[in-house]
Amino acid sequence: MDANLLFAFGLTLMAGLATGVGSILAFFTSSTNTKFLSLALGFSAGVMIYVSMVEIFFKAQVALVGAVGNELGQWLTVAGFFGGMILIAMIDKFIPKQGNPHELKKVEDMNQPEKFVKDPDLLKMGTFTALAIAIHNFPEGIATFTSALQDPALGIAIAIAIAIHNIPEGIAVSVPIYFATGDKKKAFKLSFLSGLSEPVGAIAAYFFLLPFLNDVMFGIIFAGVAGIMVFISLDELLPAAKKYDEAHISIYGLIAGMALMALSLLLFI
């Protein structure tokens, strides 16, 4: 297999497995570092928004205008961008409410014995959360993989941002499953498996998208990736960062993420 493909797949795998990191944090730390999580989630959103609007959208536009002309290329870029947003919004809409991964959990919850009950409904909620996160992670895997193939430096930035975003999701899976079963191994396993849909997305992109990849296909995919990442940032990362927030730390993280991404793009021109 081509070295670039292995690199892109490895980045996608790393980003997906960060859900397991969240699970480990839930089991082996005594408290949630809310300042760090707020800063990190804001930072991740800043990276994703900036790189989507400044770099990925622009590359999609250049590819499409070059392939089909200025007017149609501009329209296709915008259609791809909002198409990506609609795709991830539909995924959100059809996920059962009790399994929505946006419900934040804290590590402290693991240390409250009164919450520990062998409750099938709680296990169902944790399992639904794992499934919801797996569904969310699939298009994120496509985004990371295709970006890394096109531009390794861009792929690294996106993979790190998505990995940060996956850590609290790992906590969200582990906490209810642990409460319902008392089994740390089972909680970790489901958390870990929910992240594997990201490399599955990369594999799907390899087999079903790459064989048909031309400038038009590339432009539409990249525009869609930009839309997906902006939606995730606005709908998931920033609201989560604000829930953990103390003293505008999430916004400082957002600005820092944008600034670092801008600097890295300037340095790699």
Residue 80: pLDDT band with limits 50, 70, 90: very high
pLDDT of 72 > 90? The answer is yes
pLDDT of 269 > 70? The answer is no
Higher pLDDT, 92 or 97: 92
User: What is the three-class DSSP state of 73?
Assistant: helix
| DSSP string covering 162-211 | HHHHHHHHHHHHHHHHHHHH--HHHHHHHHHHHHTHHHHHHHHIIIIIGG
- Give percent above pLDDT 70 in the chain: 84
Separation of CA 39 from chain center: 16
Residue 99: pLDDT band with limits 50, 70, 90: very low
Least confident of 41-45, 104-108, 224-228, 248-252: 104-108
| Contact (Cβ atoms closer than 8 angstroms) between residue 64 and residue 73 | yes
Locus of tokens 């861009």: 154
Q: Tell me, what's the pLDDT at 115?
A: 47
Mean pLDDT of 103-123: 53
Q: Which residues are annotated as a binding site for Fe(2+)?
A: 137, 140, 166, 169, 198
Q: Which residues are annotated as a binding site for Zn(2+)?
A: 140, 165, 169
pLDDT of 100 > 70? The answer is no
What's the predicted TM-score (pTM) here? 0.76
Q: Tell me, what's the pLDDT at 60?
A: 93
Residue 114: pLDDT band with limits 50, 70, 90: very low
Q: Which residues are annotated as a binding site?
A: 137, 140, 165-166, 169, 198
